[in-house]
Amino acid sequence: MYLADEAWPDLQRYFRQESLALIPLGSTEQHGPHLPESTDHVIAESLAREAAARTGYLCTPTVNVGVSRHHRQFPGTMWVSPDAFRTYVRELTENLTYHGIDRVVYVNAHGGNVDALREVAKDLHADGTCYALEWMWDESIPGLVDELFEHNGPHGGPKETAMLQHLTDRVHEDRLAEARDGGTRDIWNASGTSQNGAATYFDARDNSENGVFGDQTDATAEKGEQLFEAATEQLVELSEWLAAREETALTPADRVGSAR
């Protein structure tokens, strides 16, 4: 069920029967010369809406702009501060709790959002507002990602390229070699990323001239379909697990020594 497509009486029936919502979140930022700036939010929304269709749970509209200041040197990148993002996500979540939702999955497709989402989830849990979980699609299927790609990358690499090849027609197929050759193929072994255990970079451009990492020529729509199906299965299982949990298991533990 997609919230924005429904009339309020139908949503009222949902809120009376169910207590879980999926909130997709991504970014609008550079993804190299070959991918659209919508990459992250297209992936997040596609996964959330597919999981909602398979389970009947509620999917909200997508948060399209996230914590992306580290991509600002590339034209078109949009971002908000971590403080603004946390406030927005918390208030958006509180909208849902007003209607009766008490458990939420943040369906995330942008690494820059992770810390802020986890902090919001901790705060919502601590004050008893609801039980929220941050879920990052590629972190749910690391074995498959490693199996499919020899040179993956944390941003604009073959996994995101393959997903967009499967989901859209917006990939510049003629620029895949350019993306690989103008970026950083193996960020994990690149020099100049740390000094004595301290990270020495802040922005994507510090480590990649064109802003992306990995070997994009290794991506195919068929691999993207494998990733999409595997990640959707993980999200469906997580949603069903969370929906089935007893309410008492979702509240903060009592202080040590206190009586229930």
DSSP string, 64-91: ---S-GGGTTSTT-----HHHHHHHHHH
Give the model's pLDDT for residue 22: 98
Residue 112: count other Cβ atoms within 10 Å of its Cβ.
22
Give the model's pLDDT for residue 188: 66
Structure tokens at 131: 């039980």
183 Cβ contact partners less than 8 Å away, ≥ 6 residues apart? 32, 153, 156, 208, 209, 210, 211, 212, 213, 214
Structure tokens at 244: 């089935």
Give the model's pLDDT for residue 197: 84
How far apart are the C-alpha atoms of 170 and 87, rounded to whole Å?
32
CA 244 to each of CA 102, 199, 247: distance values in angstroms, whole numbers, following the listed order: 12, 41, 9
How far apart are the C-alpha atoms of 25 and 112, rounded to whole Å?
11
- Return the closest-CA partner of residue 36 out of 148, 179, 141: 179
Residue extents of the structural domains in the chain:
3-250
Give the model's pLDDT for residue 193: 76
Radius of gyration of the chain (CA): 19
7 Cβ contact partners less than 8 Å away, ≥ 6 residues apart? none
CA 192 vs. chain centroid, Å, equals 28
CA 40 vs. chain centroid, Å, equals 7
Helix (H) or strand (E) holding 226: helix 221-244
Domain 3-250 indexed as CATH 3.30.70.270: no
What is the reported pTM? 0.95
Give the model's pLDDT for residue 36: 98
HSE (CB half, 13 Å, CA atoms) of 43? Answer: 31
Give the model's pLDDT for residue 200: 86
Structure tokens at 210: 């064109």
Residues of the chain with pLDDT under 50: none
Q: Are 47 and 24 in contact (CB under 8 A)?
A: yes
